[in-house]
Amino acid sequence: MLRYATIGRGSIVEQFIEGARLSGKMSLEAVYSRSEADGREFAQRYGVEKVYTSLDALAADPDIDAVYIASPNICHFEQSKAMLLSGKHVICEKPITTNAKAYALLHDIAESEGLIYMEAIIPIYTHFRAAIKEALGEIGNISMARLDYCQRSSRYDAFKAGERMNIFDMSLHAGTLMDLGVYCVYAAVDLLGMPDSITATASYLENGCDGAGAALFSYPDFTAVLSYSKTGQSSVGCEIVGDKGSVVIDKIGLYAEARLIKDGVTTPLTVFTPKEELMALEASAFADFAAGLDHDKYTAASRLCIDVHTCMDEIKRTANIIYQEEEI
Cα distances (angstroms) measured from residue 240 to each of 41, 55, 183, 211, 266 = 46, 44, 15, 25, 14
What per-residue string of b and e applies to 222-247 under the rule 16 or more CB within 10 Å gives b?
Answer: bebbbbbbbbeeeeebbbbbbeebbb
CATH no. for residue 185? 3.30.360.10
Question: Is 119:98 a contact under the CB 8 Å cutoff?
Answer: no
* β-strands 223-229, 210-218 pairing: antiparallel
Q: Are strands 265-268 and 256-262 parallel, antiparallel or unpaired?
A: antiparallel
- Count of domains in the chain? 2
- With respect to residue 290, please indicate whether it lies within any of the assigned structural domains: no
pLDDT on residue 185: 98
Residues 90, 30 within the same domain = yes
The model's pTM: 0.96
Q: Are residues 60 and 97 in the same domain?
A: yes
Tell me, yes or no, whether 108 and 194 share the same domain: no
Whether 6 and 63 map to the same domain: the answer is yes
Indicate if 92 and 185 belong to the same structural domain. no
Residue 10 confidence (pLDDT): 85
The answer to the question of residue 294 being in a domain is no
61 and 191 share one domain: no
Residue 327 inside a domain? The answer is: no
Domain boundary among 64, 88, 116: 116
pLDDT score, position 324: 78
Q: State which of 116, 148, 182 marks the end of a domain.
A: 116
Tell me the C-alpha to C-alpha distance, in Å, between residue 297 and each of 106, 202, 289: 19, 34, 8
- Do 241 and 314 fall into the same domain? yes
- In this structure, is residue 251 part of a structural domain? yes
Q: Is 7 domain-assigned? A: yes
Residues 35 and 58 in one domain: yes
Whole domain around residue 156: which residue ranges? 127-272+309-319
Residue 324 burial class via C-beta count within 10 angstroms: exposed 0-12, middle 13-18, buried 19 and up: exposed
Q: Please report which residue ranges of the chain form alpha helices under DSSP H.
A: 11-23, 36-45, 55-60, 76-85, 100-113, 129-136, 156-160, 176, 182-192, 275-290, 295-319
The answer to whether residues 175 and 250 belong to one domain is: yes
CATH number of residue 93's parent domain? 3.40.50.720
Final residue before a domain boundary, out of 116, 142, 174 = 116
**Domain contains 286:** no
Residue 327: per-residue pLDDT: 65
Residue 48's alpha-carbon distances to 169, 297, 320, in angstroms, are: 32, 32, 44
In a domain, 293, yes or no: no
Interstrand relation of 246-251 and 66-69 (parallel, antiparallel or unpaired): unpaired
pLDDT of residue 216: 98
Q: What is the pLDDT of residue 274?
A: 95
Are residues 193 and 45 part of one domain? no
Number of neighbours of residue 285 by Cβ within 10 angstroms? 22
Instruction: Quote the pLDDT of residue 9.
Output: 87
10-residue stretch averages of pLDDT, the chain, 328 residues long: 95 96 98 94 95 97 98 96 98 96 98 98 96 98 98 95 94 96 98 98 96 98 98 94 98 97 97 96 98 97 98 97 79
200 and 237, same domain (yes or no): yes
Say if residue 173 is in the same domain as residue 267.
Answer: yes
